[in-house]
Amino acid sequence: MKKLIATLALSAAFAAPVLAQAPGGLRGPTLDTIKARGQLICGVNTALPGFSAPDAQGVWRGLDVDLCKAIAAAVFGDANKVRFVPTTSQQRFVALQSGEIDVLTRNATQTFARDVSLGLHEAGVNFYDGQGFIVRKASNIASARQLDGATVCVQPGTTTELNLADYFRAQKMKFTPVVIERLEENIAAYQAGRCDAYTTDASGLAAIRTSLAVPGDHIILPERISKEPLGPMVRKGDDQWLAIVKWTLRAMIEAEEYGVNQANVDEMLKSTDPVVQRVLGVQGGFGAMMGLDNKWAYNIVKQIGNYGDSFERNVGVKTPLALERGINDLWTKGGLMYAIPLR
Ligand X SMILES: N[C@@H](CCC(=O)N[C@@H](CS)C(=O)NCC(=O)O)C(=O)O
Query: Least Å distance between CB 52 and ligand X?
Result: 9
Judged by beta carbon, residue 154 or residue 255, the one nearer ligand X is 154
Residue whose beta carbon is closest to ligand X: 204
Q: How many CB atoms neighbour CB 244 within 10 A?
A: 27
Query: Least Å distance between CB 83 and ligand X?
Result: 18
Query: Least Å distance between CB 312 and ligand X?
Result: 21
Judged by beta carbon, residue 66 or residue 254, the one nearer ligand X is 66
Whether the CB-CB separation of 252 and 39 falls below 8 Å is answered with no
Q: Which residues bind ligand X (CB under 6 A)?
A: 45-46, 48, 88-89, 107-109, 155, 158-160, 183, 200-201, 204, 228, 230
Q: Measuring CA to CA, which residue among 71, 73, 110 is closest to residue 231? A: 110
The count of C-alpha atoms lying within 13 angstroms of the C-alpha of 91, restricted to the half-sphere facing its C-beta, is 15
Judged by beta carbon, residue 76 or residue 93, the one nearer ligand X is 93
Query: Least Å distance between CB 108 and ligand X?
Result: 4
Query: Least Å distance between CB 112 and ligand X?
Result: 13
Distance CA 213, CA 47 (A): 16
Whether the CB-CB separation of 80 and 143 falls below 8 Å is answered with no
Distance CA 326, CA 128 (A): 9
Q: Is the dihedral of CA 145, 146, 149, 151 positive or negative?
A: negative
Judged by beta carbon, residue 122 or residue 257, the one nearer ligand X is 122
Judged by beta carbon, residue 233 or residue 300, the one nearer ligand X is 233
Distance CA 67, CA 106 (A): 9
